[in-house]
Structure 1
Amino acid sequence: MKSGPVSNGFPMIRGAVMGPIVRALDAAGADCDALLAEFGLSRRQLSDPYEILPLGRYVGAFERAAQVLDEPWLGLRLGNELQLTELGPAGLVFMSSPTLGAAIRKFTDALGSWQSGTLVDLVRDNAWPMWSYRIAEARIWPRRQDAEYSVSAMCHMIRLVRGATWAPVEIHFEHAAPADLKPYMRIFRVPVRFQQPASGVVIHPHDLDAPLKSADTQLARMMERHATDLISRDTVPHDLVDQVRDLVTRRLAREKLVVADIARDLGLSNRSLQRHLTEAGTSVREIIREERQRSVAVLREQEGMTNAAVARAVGYADATVLWRATRNWGRSE
């Protein structure tokens, strides 16, 4: 199984994928803002569909939303209501490819622009090809909602290009079977197997060669290029210090920077993260200070930037707090 998404550091996902969850919470009158805050997220942060979020936070928020809404099959439903734009260039690549087989392969490759840390592939080891999906990090668990959303979304996308009557051969899920299987039968209309090595959609071989009426070679080429550019731009470095620096830079103005949160998003314990950074001659606190200093220096060169605006941009409450911090920076040098 290959890894479709290619980020080399902490597993991430684009903010656009939270759209269906937020809409479901709002439609039910649930306290969406409180739920987002529970996972260090906010509507302001999610207003940018390209915003990078830690995959673990997204998965956790999805599970929590299903609990709040008392809807165990939330992922199944939202996948079946998917808006392709919320999958970025990967969704448009799928729609514009010449055949279903090409659509699934190109979608799998382009998905790396939208999320990382997942093992995705079109497996053809036997007579029945299977599109498989699994989060690589075992510690991100439970993850039933994400798995059911991903599989339901793939079936929904295929029905968009092959017709509403299309059906897979069977459906696989890595998690255990719930007590009530009727919602699965309503959506998939085929046997569903649980506790499998990966979640996925088993497809008839002849379906892969089926031409798509929505094919658009020029659009497909443009979206593939866009996906490649996004992957190249947002790839996270291997080096742990650089990964911490990358996380700090992305969050500087948006949320309180807590060592435990950074460690969790990197898949490490608090103690392990601090030990590794100490061995590298630095610390989370030192990295935050360095990034704030660097950002302040750049922002102060921009015309019209007040001290208050600079302070907010680096996560300080006001200009006075920024002044105190810069004075301490001078003493530490």
Structure 2
Amino acid sequence: MQKVPVNSGFPMIRGAVMGPVVRALDAAGADCDALLAEFGMSRRLLSNPYEILPLVRYVAAFERAAQVLDEPSLGLRLGSELQLTELGPAGLVFMSSPTLGVAMRKFSAALGSWQSAAAVEVVRDDEWPVWSYRITHPQTGPRRQDAEYSVSAMCNMIRLVRGPSWTPVEVHFEHAAPADLKPYMRIFRVPVRFQQPANGVILRPHDLDASLKSADLQMARMMERHATDLILRDTVPHNLVEQVRDLVTRRLAREKLVVADIAKDLGMSHRSLQRHLTDAGTSVRQIIREERQRSVAELRQQEGLTNAAVARAVGYADATVLWRASRNWDRDDA
């Protein structure tokens, strides 16, 4: 069988990242629920900050929110308002580290528990250290809002631990320069360069050695361990069939399972996904059926669950639909 080059599992990000976007929409009186539904999300889904979302949906929802609010610099603003606790263990690792250099390096490593398909690093390039951020999944775009949010958030994080007067040397972005540069000058207060190889924050050498008053080595070790546990627990399978199975399992009760949506979240075309699954001797339909059967068998072992509750948990409208499906499974397996 031909090997499928899929980026170490479907690109993911934690549901907590949508919190600032949801608050911005609500504050403006926009129809937040409709926007979430457009991208397969809901408030109920996002109530769990650790919920895994496809990265492509988050990026697209962020771009759409900027359009709905008619605020091209939405990402810049939300990044400048971010609280460290909203970044989960990665944010707490940053806050608890002894120096800014350690904080940025450990934060970049811990970010793997919050988001995949991202190249994040601190590099000492000759004289000027650089913190860089770039989504590595080629099908994820346009992504101006995410890039500006990430860079603005990093500058904001540094100001939270170094003081509001801190400024970088320069700020870089991958995308082209927009018409209005005033928001960039207001937030960064330094030169901003566009169409660069990566999004980044250029610092002074002595910045990395600065001690943090919020340092707490015990907290830092604890949060590093928590981030490592999250990465290990939620490692996404590399095998394409297992990736599809993982996506189906996560969405079974929440949304209508559409092949085109699953293919998009994996960064593939509908036709390509179907072809590779056929080569592997399966299909999206078969995987959905197998996961429903497995889930139903597990749920029926729990005491107190009605047939209606089991049906809803696997994406069926009611117990009657589940009963009909079960009859078809028994007949096909006979």
Structure 1 CA distance, aligned partners of 2:275 and 2:121? 36
SS of the equivalent of 2:200 reads strand
The answer to whether 1:50 aligns with 2:62 is no
SS of the equivalent of 2:128 reads coil
Which AA in structure 1 matches 2:205? P
Query: How far apart are residue 59 of structure 1 and its match?
Result: 0.3
Equivalence for 1:252: 252
Could you list the runs of 4 or more consecutive aligned residues of structure 1 that deviate by over 6 angstroms after TM superposition? Answer: none
SS of the equivalent of 2:133 reads strand
Which AA in structure 2 matches 1:45? L
The answer to whether 1:323 aligns with 2:323 is yes
Which AA in structure 2 matches 1:232? L
Equivalence for 1:114: 114
Which AA in structure 2 matches 1:12? M
Query: How far apart are residue 73 of structure 1 and its match?
Result: 0.3
Equivalence for 1:229: 229
SS of the equivalent of 1:119 reads strand
Query: How far apart are residue 123 of structure 1 and its match?
Result: 1.5
Structure 2 CA distance, aligned partners of 1:86 and 1:54? 19
Equivalence for 2:3: none
The answer to whether 1:184 aligns with 2:184 is yes
Equivalence for 2:4: none
Equivalence for 1:88: 88
Equivalence for 1:4: none
Matches within 5 A, 1:96-245: 96-245=96-245
Which AA in structure 2 matches 1:228? T
Aligned residues: 327
Task: Give unmatched runs, 5+ long, in structure 1.
Answer: 1-6
Superposed CA RMSD: 0.7
SS of the equivalent of 1:129 reads strand
Structure 2 CA distance, aligned partners of 1:28 and 1:211? 39
Task: Give unmatched runs, 5+ long, in structure 2.
Answer: 1-6
Which AA in structure 1 matches 2:129? P
Which AA in structure 2 matches 1:200? G
Query: How far apart are residue 131 of structure 1 and its match?
Result: 0.3
Structure 2 CA distance, aligned partners of 1:262 and 1:304? 33
Query: How far apart are residue 65 of structure 1 and its match?
Result: 0.3
CA displacement, residues 286-311 of structure 1 (integer Å, 9 cap, x when unaligned): 00000000000010010001100000
Give TM-score scaled by structure 2 length: 0.97
Matches within 5 A, 1:63-78: 63-78=63-78
Query: How far apart are residue 28 of structure 1 and its match?
Result: 0.2
8 Å Cα contact 1:161-1:214 kept in structure 2? yes
8 Å Cα contact 1:8-1:235 kept in structure 2? no
Give aligned-pair identity as a percent: 83
SS of the equivalent of 1:13 reads strand
Structure 2 CA distance, aligned partners of 1:213 and 1:85? 17
8 Å Cα contact 1:173-1:196 kept in structure 2? yes
Matches within 5 A, 1:244-283: 244-283=244-283
Structure 2 CA distance, aligned partners of 1:104 and 1:120? 10
Give TM-score scaled by structure 1 length: 0.97
Structure 2 CA distance, aligned partners of 1:328 and 1:28? 49
